[in-house]
Amino acid sequence: MIQISSLTHTYPASRKQAPRKALDDLTLSVGEGEFAILSGPNGSGKSTLFRILCGLALPSSGAVTIGGFDLFKQPAEVRRILGVVFQNPAVDKHLSVAENLRLHADLYGIKGDEFARRRDEALGWTDLADRLDQKVETLSGGLARQVELAKVLMTRPKVLLLDEPTTGLDPASRRNFLDALLRLQRQWKMTVLMTSHVFSEAEDVDRVAIMREGKLLAYDSPQALKAMIGTEMVVVQPIGDAEELAVSLRAELGLAVRRHGDELRLEETENGAGLPMLEGILDRWRGQIKSISIKQPDLEDVFVHVTGKAVPEHATHKAEAR
């Protein structure tokens, strides 16, 4: 449904900046009815890709087709099947919920009974029913986001693009938003591409793409991605110098030890091998270890593994959201 081939985008040089390559020969496709999440550290090119996909920018080279239409040659056709939820609100906060929905329907040529039907359907899952006459600026962040999603769903997009739609929401609202989105996506068989670096959001989706410096580093189902780094991993927090311990672990155990901040990670551990390894490490290095644990890798660990970077700070809602 979404085909991105060899997409390269370089921002022109400005007075203070050299030209900057934001996307580097990126190829990726999302099948019909699939829910894909696009993640990557800040500056990895997610936002640039998003701007291009929703037709607001033209790349330096490469091709994109959405629903079989060439995005760069047939933007009008693509717009007709596309729904976009931006990170910043795209509703008029001085207008009421009902007025915003009406205006959006007008833009998409939805009129009369059809409008009433679609509006009710799009509002069905929200908590907005008794707030239709309230101005959007008086709504809470979570409800305002619901307006955003409801308005986009009202047009029944075949392809839905979302750019970090849950930014700024508290964990409960975040969960509600995602649950509704996933349910409706399955129900209506929408193709969804959403940027996010909150990995708890990615566990239930079909595919997760991880980008860095404009390149695609990994793109697979959450299960397959997690399998990349084994079924168990041992995480060690050293007391003293992490590098020193890493060197000696590598030398004596012959294992790949990744240092990540103050942490040492022993990935790709066979199922059941974690515990004996933990015991072995404790026996030998107990004095240098503050804590040690075995865990099952989650997507955040995959992200760290693939990008070599920590998950950005504001993504730590993850733990609370569970």
Quote the CA–CA distance of 63 and 71 in Å, as a whole number. Answer: 8
Q: Quick check: is 164 catalytic?
A: yes
> Using CB under 8 A, which of 24, 25, 70, 92 touches another protein?
92
Q: Which stretch binds another protein (CB under 8 A): 32-40, 48-56, 257-265, 284-292?
A: 48-56
- Rg value, the chain, Cα: 23
Quote the CA–CA distance of 289 and 118 in Å, as a whole number. Answer: 60
Number of residues that bind another protein (CB under 8 A): 38
CA dihedral 79→82→88→94, nearest 10 degrees, is 70
Give the H/E segment covering residue 181.
helix 171-188
> Using CB under 8 A, which of 4, 9, 218, 222 touches another protein?
9
Q: Least distance to another protein from the beta carbon of 109, Å?
A: 8
Quote the CA–CA distance of 104 and 147 in Å, as a whole number. Answer: 11
> Using CB under 8 A, which of 24, 25, 70, 99 touches another protein?
99
Residue type, 142: G
114 makes contact with another protein (CB under 8 A): no
State which residue, 106 or 279, has the beta carbon closest to another protein. 106
State which residue, 89 or 312, has the beta carbon closest to another protein. 89
79 makes contact with another protein (CB under 8 A): yes
Q: Which stretch binds another protein (CB under 8 A): 58-66, 188-196, 242-250, 296-304?
A: 58-66
Quote the CA–CA distance of 39 and 43 in Å, as a whole number. Answer: 11
State which residue, 38 or 302, has the beta carbon closest to another protein. 38
The answer to whether the Cα torsion of 118, 121, 125, 126 is positive or negative is: positive
State which residue, 19 or 124, has the beta carbon closest to another protein. 19
Which of 34, 148, 164, 201 is the catalytic position? 164
Length of the chain: 322
Quote the CA–CA distance of 252 and 246 in Å, as a whole number. Answer: 10
63 makes contact with another protein (CB under 8 A): no
State which residue, 23 or 266, has the beta carbon closest to another protein. 23
| Structure token digits, residue 249 | 């672990």
> Using CB under 8 A, which of 57, 98, 294, 315 touches another protein?
57
Q: Least distance to another protein from the beta carbon of 232, Å?
A: 43
Q: Give the footprint of another protein on residues 22-41 (CB under 8 A).
A: 22
Q: Least distance to another protein from the beta carbon of 143, Å?
A: 17
Residue type, 10: T
285 makes contact with another protein (CB under 8 A): no
State which residue, 82 or 257, has the beta carbon closest to another protein. 82
* Three-state DSSP state, 228: helix
| Strands, sheet with 232-238, edge to edge from the N-terminal-most edge strand | 258-260, 263-269, 232-238, 289-295
- Residue 295 pairs in a beta bridge with 233
The answer to whether the Cα torsion of 245, 251, 253, 254 is positive or negative is: positive
> Using CB under 8 A, which of 6, 43, 94, 127 touches another protein?
94
Give the footprint of another protein on this chain (CB under 8 A).
8-13, 19, 22, 54-61, 76, 79-80, 82, 84, 86, 88-95, 99, 102-104, 106-109
Catalytic site residues? 164
